Structures are given as C-alpha cells and as structure tokens.
C-alpha cells in the first residue's frame, strides 16, 4: 500500500478519527517492535556438550533422574 494514499485518506477524516488512526499506528509499531525482540533464533551452542556421558546415561535414565529431582 502506498504511503501517500494513506495520507490522503487520513486527511479526509475528522480530527478525532485522525487521532485514532495515529494511536492505532503507534500501537502496531509497539506490538511488532516487541515481537522482533522476542523472535530471535534459538542457539544450539550447547549441542554435543554431554556427548562424553552418552555411554553412561541414556535419555530414559536421564528422564528418570529428572523425575527424582522434582
């Protein structure tokens, strides 16, 4: 959508409705700026860190241990 087209349409609105449009735009900007921060890529920098205990502990055994710790 073209920005100039939006401006023309907003200018045709009464002042109180123009304020509502600007408030809504501010709301959208805040909402989606926050989403940009929260949607960062998950890092797998921990991958392989427990490979040395793979022989000693299976995933099932670790699951049982986790239940004990709770």
Asked whether residue 9 carries a pLDDT value surpassing 90, the answer given is yes
pTM here is 0.46
pLDDT in tens, 12-47: 999 999 999 999 999 999 888 865 555 667 788 888
Indicate whether 24 belongs to any domain: yes
Average the pLDDT over each of 7-16, 32-41, 58-67 and give the range with the smallest value: 32-41
Q: Binning pLDDT at 50, 70 and 90, where does residue 49 land?
A: confident
Indicate whether 10 belongs to any domain: yes
pLDDT of res. 35? 59
The mean pLDDT of 55-66, rounded to a whole number, is 83
Distance CA 17, CA 1 (A): 20
Indicate whether 57 belongs to any domain: no
Q: Can you read off the two tokens belonging to residue 48?
A: 């392989």
Number of domains in the chain: 1
Task: Domain of residue 11: give its range.
Answer: 3-38
Distance CA 25, CA 31 (A): 10
């Amino acid at each position: 959508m073209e920005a100039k087209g939006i401006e023309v349409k907003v200018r045709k609105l009464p002042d109180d409705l123009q304020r509502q449009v600007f408030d809504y735009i501010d709301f959208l900007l805040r909402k989606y700026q926050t989403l940009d921060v929260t949607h960062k890529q998950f890092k797998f920098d921990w991958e392989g860190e427990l490979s040395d205990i793979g022989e000693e502990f299976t995933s099932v055994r670790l699951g049982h241990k986790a239940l004990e710790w709770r």
